[in-house]
A and B are shown apart, each in its own frame.
Chain A
Amino acid sequence: MTSLSLHAPPLWRQVLPYAALLGLALLIYFVFPDQLPMAARIAALAIFVMSLDLVVGYGGLATLGHSAMYGVGAYAAGLLATHLTGNPLLGLLAGACAGAVLALLSGLFLLRYEGLTFLMLTIAISQIAQNLASKLRQWTGGDDGLSGFTIQKILGLASFDLQGRVAFVYCFAVMFICLWLMRRLMASPFGLACVGIHQNRQRMAALGTRIRWQLLKLYTIAGAFAGISGALAAQVAQIVGLDSLGFELSAEALVMLVLGGAGNLWGALVGTVVFASIHHWASTLNPYHWLFIIGGMLVTMVLVPRERWGQALSRRLQLFRRAAAPSGASS
């Protein structure tokens, strides 16, 4: 699933994808200015899908309750802006803390279980959070959502404008940093240990890894990033709804992740962009017909695994195969 190489690739190959991403952002900013609000939303969402990738792709924990951390982060940022301060960076920090605390507390309980039991318990946690948020109406606004908070200027420089320029730059910058941090983290010994746990728990336990402790760390870190994503989305949209805690968000994020390829953060990013673009394009359709598209995508993706697409592609482009061959120590 994840290819590991002991030798770090040359610097230019490490930097190249980031440079390409930056170039893409500049392209969007200058060539498609009317798409900026959507691009900002996608950037915020991409952080969430990448944090899901940490749990699902690297840790191998199938979860359908990851939106709990996203929603808690969003509510934390919204409440902070409503009651204390509209400082956006403090809002992100609050979101990260809220997500991490929820992930830590629920992880202490959840990670004692595996497989279907774990999956069901993650759903339970997000449903409990959603029902609580709906009940605590004086804090969260219940069904109407939490709104009416204002966000101050970012770094005291620029405030959100109607064209969404500042929002895009802000979201993209945060996403860029998060992507870099997560990539660094998963290339560290800790990240490799998580991949090892995914591949073979018994062997890692025999090697002396403390499985539950490592997974708890991973789950908490992923929760923090999910919280940042929620906080970012809340600040840009200036409203937090109950659906940010819902089951549908988790399921959709999982679709995006698998679309791009789990276990590789670039895949999560690509999947988010592709899915959100198709969704945007199809938003003129009847929402039920949209389900045909996403349902069809899911079914085809499983029946025709991505590896097979990849092989077909790389056979066409000899170049890719050459590049992949020397580092062939794949799992």
Chain B
Amino acid sequence: MTLLANILIDGIAYGMVLFIISVGLSITLGLMRFVNLAHGAFAMTGGYLAAWLVGAQGWPFGWGLLAAVVLTGLLGAVLEALVLRRLYRRSELEQVLFTIGLTFLFVATANLLAGPEVQLIPLPAWLKTPVDLGIRTLPAQRLLVIAAGLAVLALSALVLGRSRFGIWLRATVDNTGAAAALGIPVKWVYAATFGVGAALAGLGGILGAELMPLEPYYPIKYLVLVLVVVAVGGMGSITGSAVAALALGTIETASKYLASDWGSLFFFLSMALFLAWRPQGLLVARRA
């Protein structure tokens, strides 16, 4: 019983981190049809910035986190406006190659600036204190991760469903040309969406630093994980990504607890099964 609770709590926390990181990728893939393998690099950037601001500069955790997330978002928006925008019309293979190259550049830069060691984000006292849930005590940090995941899910659903920006975004996803003809600032929507996606990846990188340690190879190591979540969840489907992230996160955690010597076998096996069952995404019915 305790084992089951452990698996569930850790799995959900892990899944929430995966979800927060992959939301942005899911939207860019759905919106711009842009295969961005450099998405994990934004998560790493957020984590590194937070580690630098909180650790070396001595900022309070909350402010450091906020600044790191905003800066990562800005970096994403600038990159989109300057370079990535030119690649939307290119073939899938070219996008894959470019963003792999970009990832390598991020890895090398991270090593150049901070060295090959694992970066730690010092947690404030209120996040280290264990919280008693009745079944088990767990660090407040886990609770923060789960809460943040739920908040991102709720907020993005609200923004997409209710706000003016959400309407623009959905219109642009459905038909960019028509949306532009109707006066929607399509380019601005692209840059803003990309920036928000990068910022969320940064948030995920910071919150998940305990589960996915920050090191220069971070973007390559966790790239596949994030891509799997997006592919299984369905491109552009936020709820799909959440379901996929929670399911895969729990499966990965369970296999770590129960069958650690099999590595990530069950993770990829379940991914293959999910994709075979619903190639368009978990919540999308197969197109006829």
Contacts and interface: CB of A to CB of B under 8 A. Distances in A.
Interface in A159-211: none
Contact of B98 (A109, A135, A302): A302
Contacts of B261: 135
B212 to A, nearest CB: 17
A194 B15 CA distance: 41
Contact of A117 (B93, B269, B275): B275
Interface stretch (B180-188, B202-210, B227-235): B227-235
User: Interface residues of B: mostly helix, strand, loop or mixed?
Assistant: helix
Contacts of A116: 29, 35, 92, 231, 235
Contacts of B112: 288-289
Interface in A224-264: 247-248, 251, 254-255, 258, 262
A299 B102 contact: yes
Given A298-B101, A302-B101, A303-B98, A288 B216 contact: yes
Q: For the side of the interface on A, what is the size category? A: 35 or more
Contacts of A289: 108, 112
Contacts of B272: 109, 121, 124-125, 128
Contacts of A127: 224, 264, 268
Interface in B63-119: 83, 86-87, 90, 92-94, 96-98, 100-105, 107-108, 111-112, 116
A64 B87 CA distance: 20
Contacts of A328: none
A302 B84 CA distance: 11
A291 B105 CA distance: 6
A117 B231 contact: yes
A17 interface: no
Contacts of A125: 272
A296 B111 CA distance: 16
A4 interface: no
Contacts of A35: none
B98 A299 contact: yes
Which of A116, A135, A248, A302: most chain B Cβ within 10 A?
A302
Given A116-B231, A288-B216, A247 B224 contact: yes
A296 B280 CA distance: 33
Determine the main DSSP class of A at the interface with B. Answer: helix
B122 interface: no
Given A62-B93, A298-B100, A302-B87, A135 B265 contact: yes
Given A131-B263, A291-B107, A302-B90, A113 B102 contact: no
B103 A301 contact: no
B108 A109 contact: no
Listed residue (B98, B101, B269) with the most chain A CB atoms within 10 angstroms of its CB: B101
B35 A298 contact: no
Contacts of B265: 128, 131-132, 135
A214 interface: no
A32 interface: no
Contacts of B262: 131, 135
Interface size range of chain B in the complex: 35 or more
Contacts of A247: 224
A326 interface: no
B275 A296 contact: no
B276 interface: yes
Contact of A288 (B90, B96, B102, B107): B107
A291 B102 CA distance: 10
B72 to A, nearest CB: 19
A74 B243 CA distance: 38
A120 interface: yes
A134 interface: yes
A116 B271 CA distance: 13
B288 to A, nearest CB: 15
B279 interface: yes
A292 interface: yes
Contact of A255 (B29, B97, B235, B280): B97
Contacts of A128: 265, 268-269, 272
Interface string B215-233: 0100010001001100100
Interface string A281-321: 00000101101101111110111000000000000000000
Given A116-B29, A302-B98, A291 B276 contact: no
Given A296-B105, A297-B101, A302-B98, 10 more contacts: A62-B92, A112-B276, A116-B231, A124-B271, A262-B93, A288-B216, A291-B107, A299-B98, A301-B101, A302-B87
Interface of B: 29, 35, 83, 86-87, 90, 92-94, 96-98, 100-105, 107-108, 111-112, 116, 216, 220, 224, 227-228, 231, 235, 261-265, 268-269, 271-272, 275-276, 279-280
5 contacts: A123-B224, A124-B272, A128-B265, A131-B264, A303-B98
